[in-house]
Chains A and B, each alone.
Chain A
């Protein structure tokens, strides 16, 4: 079932949580709402679920308007950040809850409930814990119970609010992979909220990057990472170096250096304007000698070779800090050490954003 929100606006007192947000989620998609706290992502999720009501705008499920439909009737599955398991009920009864509260007419028989609950518990690999209380489970186990509980009533849409936010890094990674596999099996239209860009990029079919109540960009993970539409998206996803420059005659000059970039800026800019040039650490090439191209001088300040790549912290000749990432082979060839002078040049086209002064 597809989800569409149109022009959603929501304020809490003077705080604007959502400002004319629109987006569409196709049937069967797994979409991530990615942003920092206060970006509005959780509010949007809760509005879709019916737990919050928008000030204006509409919510549509499969084309039909659902804005006035009560949360009970929307048949969405919701997984809370802190699980919200019923603490006095066993795991079994938690999962069975949605089936037990159905109106008498459509309530299934006890046998059916038992079968379905055990099916779901097997799906989340917790069948042996059926009689335990939530307080006796680990965080990761509780989250899986919460998921099973949400799935028990066969929702057409699954909404997850920072589902792994309260878990350890390792458990988080495991559950992430597990959730992806589950989604591939069940194909329920799903939307999840996260502030972890790695999680969003790894899991989602499409990512919605949000900032201060607005959508910055919607696209596949590759799209938003390699072709960020705004500086915010660029900075939010992955590490970044920022160079200040100005635009002159269609060229971008980086302040304090002799680097001149020919690329057409990604924003319209004609007369003299300021420019922000973004380069990811792995897009910088380091050499011991000048090559006469677009390069600047820098001094090595710190080295961290514990990892798949070597992280080099540099200070440019005009005093700004810069981070580069190079292969271990290159690092060995350069024989870099603290205090060494190197020449750095962009390997790929940097992203340039131009601002009117």
Chain B
């Protein structure tokens, strides 16, 4: 089951079709539809996007740089990077293991497994945080045990890392599975016949074949890990300078009426999002080049599903 399609590079080698004039709409209809579509996107995408940057610099460069170099801001940036640097590798290994299991083997519980992997998409971020509070919080299952050993998970880094890992664990797997499935088993079989061991086959044949999907999976997992707000809000206690990640810090600044500062931090996160979108285009392009062996002739029309869900 797929909550929604993900990037499948094999599908992307077909160029978009140009519909013949004989079965196309009259010009005025096309103009109208295009304008309405662009207008919709402007209202909901372009204008809010631009607003982030404009507001970030609304009080000038000095205020901008002051905001992002403020100690609490630096602490938030450090915390965010640290969280991502733990969550992403963990989910990377999981993603490789899950993709290998699902893409290369046939077994009855496969659809159950795929549903489980899609689980975080069905769970509200607030609930994603709640479950860890119930598990590790003062009144939770493990609460007393943790208190006895003087270990803090909720309102501390471990809680942030665990809840972020939970929310982002499907991303690498979901990018890898269709890519692995598309490449089939033949090259792996060829490697085995030639005498390669399991790990030799995995590193020399499997990984190079999925490298673009893997790379993109890491990038999107990272973007979502650094950008997670709801679950971290619940779990961290939002203590400024201590347990506030960047997205939470944005809220704290905004609620404290420090708008320029809030948008300054927000602009950093938005830039990361834009880099992620650019990486996706590059992935599509590179994987199309790889599978056809030459540059695509016509402009590639994306046939991918969404990035995340």
Contact = CB atoms under 8 A, between A and B. Distances in A.
Please say whether the chains A and B touch (CB closer than 8 A): yes
**Contact residues of B: prevailing secondary structure:** helix
Contacts of B196: 72, 97, 101
Contact of B193 (A49, A102, A136): A49
A71 interface: yes
A51 B293 contact: no
Contacts of A89: 208
Interface string B18-41: 000000000000000000000000
Contacts of A123: none
B193 A77 contact: yes
Contact of A72 (B187, B195, B205): B195
A173 interface: no
A133 interface: yes
Nearest to B193: A78
Contact of B192 (A71, A102, A152): A71
B70 interface: no
Given A86-B205, A87-B209, A135-B293, A76 B190 contact: no
Given A82-B186, A86-B187, A87-B187, A153 B194 contact: yes
Interface residue tally on A, bucketed by range: 20 to 34
A78 B190 contact: yes
B186 A101 contact: no
Contacts of B187: 84-87
Contacts of B204: 86, 97, 101
Contacts of A133: 293
Nearest to A133: B293
Interface residues of B, number: 20
B293 A84 contact: no
Interface of A: 49-51, 71-73, 75-78, 80, 82, 84-89, 97-98, 101-102, 133, 135-136, 149-150, 152-153
A149 B187 CA distance: 12
A41 B60 CA distance: 75
Given A101-B197, A136-B293, A80 B190 contact: yes
B151 to A, nearest CB: 44
Contacts of A88: 208-209, 290
A49 B195 CA distance: 12
